[in-house]
Amino acid sequence: MAPLLKKKKTPPAVCQIGDKDVIEKMLRKPRQRMEIFRSIDTADQGRVLLCQDSRVQKSIMNNLHTHEMIPILNSVDPDQATELMRQLPEGRAKRLTNQLSQQLREKVEFLLRFHPKTAAGMMDVDYILVHQDQTFGDVAKLIEKHDLETGRPPIVLVLDEESKLLGELPVYILALKPASTKVANNTRKLPSLIYNADERAVVTTFLKHPHRKVVVLDEDKSVLGVIHSDDILAILDKRTARDLFRFAGVSSEEDALDSPLQKFKHRWMWLVINLATAFLAASVVGMFEDTIAAITLLAVYMPIVAGMGGNAGTQTMAVAVRGIVLKEVDLASGWKFVWHEMVSGAMNGVVNGLIVGLVATIFNGSPMLGLVLAIAMVANLMIAGFFGALIPLIMKALGKDPATSATIFITTCTDVGGFFVFLSLAKALLAPGS
């Protein structure tokens, strides 16, 4: 059997359950934030700091003395230390780097060379390279040496005869087979990316390959580092939060504890744009003022028609944005997607139109009103499918963020289109003298 390795220490896991109360307390009490942070055990400060929002991280680190920062940076993984260093002014980051332990300093300096939103900027450098003709005994000695030097168990990457990546040797296998076992027969393939691949390519690779890690390669195909699934989950969490802010028209830089003036600055533009589009929808309603005055019951059902269109458009937009992010669809190739969303909208319109039409017929005693509502519902959900799919593609082609800009225009199209179809039909089929 290959020798079992005793782990010296484990790097702090990010965001443990017990940290939640401390983090919330630090957010609620910004004036006592440093006092609260300094009261945390030194061994836990790095983990708690990594759990914070980037602005809170900057605030804390800018108020920490150098002798307080060094133990924190030495306690976390090199990629985590690099992430924290990127929050600091360049001059101070350089001074701190010079005071780190030699091994950590070399790794941090290496990682800081790369853009943080590329594959190399997200990778970890805790790995060792072995060749396929080595034995488990050889690998165990290398792991033990790495563990003694860094306090962290490495990833074992296997190279072929030409020193190109062959795959990964799962560490647990070392305990299951004799030390004389050859590495080549126990290698598991891993996906890889070039070092300058962007964040989107990294996420897409993880989604397409159900592995816990992706290897980052240099231009000559030599290994630079490894990206773990935890890093990708953190990116997806941030992206989800960011997209939720954007869908609502709220800046991702806005904090719950911001002052009223700061909140105003973040939101006023979006609300003005929404107001302008609301006037456009109101002008369509104004065109049918006489019809609504003659049939007041129309006012009861107008919000239903518009609301269903808006909700359907938002659903379609969410699918479109996800397709754009994953590079599944673009404006040039997206017409099939737009058509499918229109057909889906029509099908949903038929189902919901039958329901609302039946309600109007039973409770209002007007089969004709039910027919108008049913037709309007089908038309508006088709409009929602069309513009909900097309507008994000257009915004992306124009170089705009579809998650930020599309929702306002889609809502406008469904409101204007829904009101126009519904009130036009009502005027033609229900108004006196029609």
- The average pLDDT across 280-293 equals 84
- The average pLDDT across 31-45 equals 85
Q: Does domain 17-113 have CATH number 3.40.50.740?
A: no
What residue ranges do the domains of the chain occupy?
Answer: 17-113, 122-237, 260-429
At residue 12, the pLDDT reads 42
3-state secondary structure (DSSP) of residue 5: coil
The chain-wide mean pLDDT, for the chain, equals 80
Run of H or E residues at 414: helix 402-429
CA-wise closest residue to 387 among 307, 328, 315, 332:
315
Structure tokens that stand for 105 in this block: 């300093």
Tell which wins on pLDDT, 111 or 252.
Answer: 111
At residue 224, the pLDDT reads 86
pLDDT tens digits along 12-23: 445 665 667 777
DSSP-H helix ranges across 329-401? 335-364, 367-397
Task: Determine the Cα angle at 188 with ends 182 and 193, to 5°.
Answer: 125
CA-wise closest residue to 51 among 80, 81, 87, 14:
14
DSSP state at residue 101: -
**Which CATH number does the domain 122-237 belong to among 3.10.580.10, 3.10.129.10, 3.40.50.10860, 3.40.50.12590?**
3.10.580.10
Tell which wins on pLDDT, 53 or 14.
Answer: 53
The alpha carbon of 255 is separated from its chain's Cα centroid by a whole number of angstroms, namely: 18
122-237 against 260-429: fold identical: no
Give the residues across from 214 on adjacent strands: 227
Cα(199)–Cα(140) distance, integer angstroms? 34
User: Which are the contacts of 123, defined by CB distance < 8 A and separation ≥ 6?
Assistant: 79, 111, 216, 224, 225, 226, 227
Q: What secondary structure does DSSP assign to 73-139, as a single string?
A: HHTS-HHHHHHHHTTS-HHHHHHHHHTS-HHHHHHHHHHTTS-TTBHHHH-B--EEEEETT-BHHHH
DSSP state at residue 184: G
pLDDT tens digits along 361-383: 998 888 999 999 999 999 999 99
Instruction: Note whether 123 and 226 are within 8 A (CB).
Output: yes
DSSP state at residue 385: H
How many C-beta atoms surround the C-beta of residue 55 within 10 A? 11
Instruction: Note whether 83 and 58 are within 8 A (CB).
Output: no
Instruction: Note whether 245 and 252 are within 8 A (CB).
Output: yes
Q: How many residues does the chain have?
A: 434
Q: What secondary structure does DSSP assign to 269-295, as a single string?
A: HHHHHHHHHHHHHHHHHHTTHHHHHH-
Tell which wins on pLDDT, 11 or 271.
Answer: 271
Instruction: Note whether 392 and 324 are within 8 A (CB).
Output: yes
Is a pLDDT exceeding 90 seen at residue 352?
A: yes
CA-wise closest residue to 353 among 328, 391, 382:
382
Global pTM reads 0.50
Phi, psi of 142 (to 5 degrees): -65, -40
Amino acid symbol at 325: V
pLDDT tens digits along 216-275: 888 888 888 888 877 777 666 666 555 555 554 445 555 555 667 777 776 777 678 778
Instruction: Note whether 353 and 373 are within 8 A (CB).
Output: yes
At residue 383, the pLDDT reads 94
Question: What is the fold of 260-429?
Answer: Tetracycline Repressor; domain 2 (1.10.357)
pLDDT tens digits along 296-310: 888 888 888 888 988
At residue 398, the pLDDT reads 83
Question: What is the band of 6 on the pLDDT scale with cuts at 50, 70, 90?
Answer: very low
